[in-house]
Structure 1
């Protein structure tokens, strides 16, 4: 049976029947106790609200029990898994989840009021959006709740609820590992086909003929396409409105053709090269310990964009140039070096970088001491022009904060180790291993990981992954022999040199 077509035919038939009016005077007896009722008596009683229809209070009680159950399940789920699925921006994520539920419930209600086919309700669009923006675990909970609610709204149609639950669950699985937006499009088309097949199958289960089932399958296919279009329109709007970093956004930021990275390449080429290499180290380490390798890479690419403001005060950009720090006091040099973090945050906000990347810019040095200039200041305070000048350690420390996320902690290690190894004239595996161990020990003793989510095991695994990658980068090189010097031809006899 085609439920949607049946409901539509009933509505059309009812609209073609002329209204029958009657009058009941105040105090007039409608029927007497024990009297046999005819159709006219029943119609009068129903019009007066004395018979027929469900008891609104019992309906209200049933809906209340369902809603209370849904809320209890949601509370238990968030209590059990909330820390894992609401990593950071908890209030924003909860607000977004509630907004999506309200939006799709209102959309389903609009389909019912407009007498549109219920199987066109694009709940898979909620799955696509929610999985990308909020993650699969929270999305599955939302899909279960919304499928039940839509089934109730559509006149307790639990065939419809089952179809929506299956197709929306498949949508969660499909977009879970989608990368670029072109892959997103193909995933959406696959969801549309599967929605059509599932709707066709449930139409057959409902007892409909093959032709009616094919019609329902066509409606399911349109549902999937509508869900895809809805998700593609809303995704960029919700990304920007809630400032949520999605895999698609991270892939765009990881593209070295990104305008800000291109500006970094032009203005501070040494910093650009350092950032790309640190990105590879950080992504490799993040994958080793189960952190987000794409976020680690993107954060590393942008962590030093603040050096664009004063590129030649940083050693990697001084090739063929004089070192301007030679004419500055250690305290002033440290102030300029520290400033690249503040400048990076300002530039990041101007270029609308996501908050997760801004956090990594702010935290990648933590509150570490700028060791080179601090030691120079101590030496100068013992003799020379700055003899007797008080050296305050706080003037030579970065402002922080310390790393909070795993990815920020990985970036701190990768950044420090890569820079130290690059300063070696002849890096060897043993020297690299010593630098990795010394860097980790120094950061731990300095308390830089006190606020970080990394465990001790993960910190050492991160160091091991960075060590292996650096040894792979350097690798053995063939030392090519120099070409023999060409001897000058002997002067001809009788000539002078």
Structure 2
């Protein structure tokens, strides 16, 4: 179907291009580029970075001259200042290197190269922005450094972003003439911004958090003005500049976040909320091409979300993974039973091995479609891992009936075991939902049996061995899925023809309906 495997935009392919570069060369080039760029941005410009040191030197020189001491140099060489800045930046990068060695595995679970490039890009971008403000003669308290904290927290997490905020605050203070109060104010508010947005889940919440950050910057700037000896009106003006700083930081975050999300394919809560909408173009393609799979996927997403909430996992990621886990079935929808309504089963004319190969292929097709449509890596991982290495039991047993020599590996998925809690949850929700749907009379007791047997089978087969789920959490997930499925399978009263429709409308003419005959499974 045209557009099913669309080519991603050039801007959106940046992350994939970065991941394809040789790691050693990439990291070396990234370190050198960052060191040179930050050194030049901080150390060069119309305003000398050691302005206050020079003034202090003049004061000391005058005092010593009065005592008859030898004359001191009347100015510091810009190259000496640049060397000092280069050393400071080198120390900052050394701190970052040690930090990433210590915590990098927790921060960069996937796409480490892409996230490192993003980190360096943000540091250089906001340092360049601070330099631009100074060159334009704007007050340094307008430097929107809180925007770095907002964007960094949403894209990279709070730990690394706080380190970036410390480094950037020191650098801006140096650029502002070794202004300790400026560095302190920017550091306080940047740190506050990290924790103000760390749990933001929508753009409306981001807007509210940004306004709080703007208020905090106004208060800190006003306080710094008083500490620095400014008059009350001057301190109020400084507070107004701080509030403008916060608004400017928020505006930058709102503009840059969507661009950086797409360019580096980073999953943020806002992006996850958007792609978890069943009305996205890709989900509409799934509905058009494979309506049975669409219905199955929506239900799996709801079950996975409910289970993730039960154990404190990322419920929105579990829901999104459930929605997209079977998008590969769009390629050959007729080969999957949920799409065979009023259709002949094409597997009737195929060998079990060929049928299994077609069934397995939907995972690879899903990854191709997901990459083409720019789905985040976390969703792609769930697509790849939602079957683990499970055996396609129906066709495996059919093959055993036809031949004694059957290669079991030909009937197992091979795209990897679930590694995240959310991937494990989607695996269980997918298996339970499909099994329950096959029951002729799905009573609560039978649903409970299905959940229990599914969990036992997955554990015995080692499908959850690489998953972050504990045994206790696995059983909690099963309970949540069972409770939700039992609610979905609740009975409906069967109304006689012409009496009352399901919406409660009475028959015309005021006729009284005869009592309906109770159907099996209906409450007494």
TM-score (norm 2): 0.76
Within the candidate set 440, 450, 457, 2:455 is matched to 440
Residue of structure 1 in register with 2:130 after alignment: 108
Shift of 1:57: 9.7
The whole-number CA distance in structure 2 between the counterparts of 1:68 and 1:306 is: 48
Q: What is the CA deviation profile of residues 405-455 of structure 1, one whole-angstrom value per residue up to 9, with x for unaligned ones?
A: 222121111111111111112223332222222222222222222333333
Mapping for residues 360-371 of structure 1, pairs under 5 Å: 360-371=382-393
Q: Is 2:241 the partner of 1:243?
A: no
Structure 1 residue aligned with 2:317, among 261, 275, 295?
Answer: 295
1:58-113 superposed Cα distances (whole Å, 9 cap, x missing partner): 96897677557645654554454433322222232223222212222232233334
Deviations 1:109-168 (A, max 9, x none): 333344321101110110111011001222122212221222222222121112112222
Give 1:325 shift. 2.2
- Contact 2:275–2:320 (CA under 8 A) maintained in structure 1: yes
The residue aligned with 1:279 is: 301
- What is the aligned partner in structure 1 of residue 434 from structure 2? 419
CA distance in 1, matches of 2:90, 2:364: 48
- 2:157 maps to 1:135: yes
> What residue is the counterpart of 2:215 in the other structure?
193
- SS of the counterpart of 2:172? helix
1:313 paired residue among 310, 335, 360: 335
* Cα drift, residue 289 of structure 1: 2.7
Q: Deviations over 1:20-78 (max 9, x none)?
A: xxxxxxxxxxxxxx99899xx99xx7xxxx62345889968976775576456545544
Query: Which residue does 2:53 correspond to in 1?
Result: none
Paired position in structure 2 for 1:385: none
SS at match of 1:365: coil
Which fold has the larger relative contact order, with Cα–Cα distance below 8 Å and residues 6 or more apart in sequence? 2
The alignment status of 1:179 with 2:201, answered yes or no, reads: yes
- Over the residues paired in the alignment, what is the CA RMSD in angstroms? 3.2
**1:469 maps to 2:484:** yes
Determine which of 225, 228, 248 is the counterpart of 1:203: 225
Q: How does 1:318-357 map to 2 (within 5 A)?
A: 318-357=340-379
2:421 to 400, 403, 406: 406
Counterpart CA distance in 2 for 1:220 and 1:339 is 56
| Structure 2: gaps (5+ residues) | 1-46, 49-63, 499-512, 514-524
Q: Report the Cα distance in structure 2 between the residues aligned to 1:464 and 1:76, rounded to whole angstroms.
A: 43
Q: 1:57 to 1:312 in 2, by over 3 A?
A: closer
The structure whose Rg is larger is 1
Query: Closer, same or farther in 2 for the Cα pair 1:185/1:449, shift >3 Å?
Result: same
In structure 1, the gaps of 5 or more residues are 1-9, 12-33, 382-387, 487-497
Give the distance between the partners of 2:137 and 2:446, measured in 1 at CA: 74
For normalisation by structure 1, the TM-score amounts to 0.80
Q: 1:425 to 1:70 in 2, by over 3 A?
A: same
Aligned partners of 2:271 and 2:307: how far apart in 1? 21
Query: What SS does the corresponding residue of 1:448 show, helix, strand or coil?
Result: coil
Could you tell me which residue of structure 1 aligns to residue 255 of structure 2? 233
Matches of 2:159 and 2:268, distance apart in 1: 16
Query: Within 5 Å, which residues of 2 pair with 1:2-41?
Result: none
Describe the superposition over 1:174-226 as per-residue Cα deviations: whole angstroms up to 9, x where unpaired.
32232333443343334333322322232233222232122212221221222
Q: Distance in 2 between matches of 1:363 and 1:280?
A: 18
Kindly report which structure 2 residues correspond to 1:27-106, keeping only aligned pairs within 5 A, or say none: 51-53=73-75, 70-71=92-93, 73-75=95-97, 77-106=99-128
